[in-house]
């Protein structure tokens, strides 16, 4: 989810060094993301989708922070300029390419009356560019730009990723988000979009939590940490329930459960966990829309409809990604061209 610094959103590693629990955890994350997006297009307000949304994207942030901290702890030579350049290819170029593609797709859909409502036609160019930046045309694209921003500052904040620096970074991220996010939201809000800077500030909490999880796991065994955070999660739930604190403790609990129990290659799950970048970029809005149109005509229960739709969406998006990766240009637009 390997000592590289992405979210497979990550670079290839040897089978010996690969951390399979991160691949498996990322599969859970992408399944949650696809479920949330599919349900929004189906207009199904399932209660469980709300809970999935609490964990879907934070899973990717915490995995990425863990990997970055692990890579810094290896004491290998680190060049910020090289690191930054890789992230331009890994995140910024795919964000730019797919933002343009989905903007063009939305323009054509509106031009030929394939969708209701207009978010492109009739707007000034400047507003269209702002909307593209804020992922109005495809709601998932903000994540790449947010992660790019987080990665840009993480080496400067974490240094060598000691326990002290990771703790300070995590606490600082919590304070900054809780004290300034509301004001920033009022300033930067874009209707119908997901503003990347706001989400980067939100995501730093989980990214630095992942870095902190790595540094702590070097001191305390992951099995013991699983027990500690199980008790902590129960205590928060039963004694002094604070939603944000419950999310943090339960997220770390899930992380270490996967570390202890699922650090093995699990066929399709691990394979798709390595391919989350392509699935994330491709699944919405076009693939999801096609699946909704086809599956909504089937007379099957809503829950089964969502399950079948999610499976189909992941498979189709992965196959498109697999096809694109056969070509140099495809690798570049999917962030693997460096």
Total domain count for the chain?
1
Looking at residue 45, its pLDDT comes to: 63
Looking at residue 155, its pLDDT comes to: 96
In a domain, 301, yes or no: yes
Looking at residue 41, its pLDDT comes to: 86
Residue with tokens 């469980």: 48
Confidence check: pLDDT of 81 > 70:
yes
In a domain, 102, yes or no: yes
Looking at residue 84, its pLDDT comes to: 97
Domain that holds residue 145: 20-219+265-333
* Cβ atoms of residues 142 and 195 within 8 Å: yes
In a domain, 275, yes or no: yes
Q: Which residue has the higher pLDDT, 76 or 31?
A: 31
Confidence check: pLDDT of 14 > 50:
no
Query: What contacts 59, CB < 8 A, 6 or more positions away?
Result: 1, 25, 26, 28, 29, 32, 251, 254
User: pLDDT averaged over the chain?
Assistant: 91
Query: Which tokens sit at 203?
Result: 């995501």
In a domain, 228, yes or no: no
In a domain, 113, yes or no: yes
Looking at residue 43, its pLDDT comes to: 73
Residue pLDDT, tens place only, 253-309: 999 999 999 999 999 999 999 999 999 999 999 999 999 989 888 888 788 889 999
Looking at residue 46, its pLDDT comes to: 67
Rounded to an integer, the average pLDDT of 59-68 is 98
In a domain, 284, yes or no: yes
CA distance 185 to 189: 5
Confidence check: pLDDT of 6 > 70:
no
Task: Read off φ and ψ for residue 88, nearest 5 degrees.
Answer: -60, -45
Closest CA to 99 of 157, 46, 140: 140
In a domain, 244, yes or no: no
pLDDT band at 2 (very low <50, low <70, confident <90, very high): very low
* Cβ atoms of residues 68 and 5 within 8 Å: yes
In a domain, 299, yes or no: yes
Confidence check: pLDDT of 76 > 80:
yes
């Amino acid at each position: 989810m390997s000592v590289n610094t992405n979210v497979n959103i990550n670079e290839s590693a040897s089978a010996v060094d690969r951390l399979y629990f991160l691949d498996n955890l990322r599969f859970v994350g992408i399944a949650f993301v696809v479920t949330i997006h599919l349900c929004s297009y189906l207009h199904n307000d399932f209660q469980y989708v709300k809970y999935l949304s609490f964990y879907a994207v934070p899973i990717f942030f915490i995995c990425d922070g863990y990997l970055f901290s692990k890579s810094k702890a290896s004491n290998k030579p680190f060049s910020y300029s090289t690191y930054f350049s890789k992230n331009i290819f890994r995140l910024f170029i795919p964000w730019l390419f797919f933002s343009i593609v989905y903007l063009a797709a939305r323009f054509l859909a509106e031009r030929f009356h394939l969708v209701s409502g207009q978010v492109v036609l009739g707007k000034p160019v400047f507003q269209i560019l702002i909307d593209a930046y804020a992922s109005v045309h495809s709601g998932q694209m903000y994540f790449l730009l947010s992660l790019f921003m987080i990665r840009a500052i993480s080496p400067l904040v974490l240094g060598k990723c000691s326990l002290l620096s990771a703790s300070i970074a995590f606490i600082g991220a919590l304070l900054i988000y809780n004290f300034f996010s509301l004001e920033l939201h009022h300033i930067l809000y874009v209707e119908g979009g997901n503003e990347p800077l706001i989400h980067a500030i939100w995501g730093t909490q989980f990214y630095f939590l992942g870095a902190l999880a790595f540094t702590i796991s070097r001191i305390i065994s992951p099995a013991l940490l699983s027990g500690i955070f199980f008790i902590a999660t129960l205590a928060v739930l039963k004694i002094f329930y604070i939603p944000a604190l419950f999310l943090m403790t339960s997220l770390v609990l899930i992380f270490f459960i996967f570390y202890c129990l699922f650090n093995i290659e699990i066929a399709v799950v691990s394979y798709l966990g390595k391919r989350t970048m392509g699935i994330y970029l491709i699944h919405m809005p076009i693939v999801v829309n096609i699946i909704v149109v086809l599956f909504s005509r089937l007379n099957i229960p809503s829950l089964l409809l969502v399950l079948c739709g999610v499976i189909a969406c992941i498979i189709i998006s992965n196959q498109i990604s697999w096809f694109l990766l056969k070509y140099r240009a495809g690798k570049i637009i999917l962030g693997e061209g460096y």
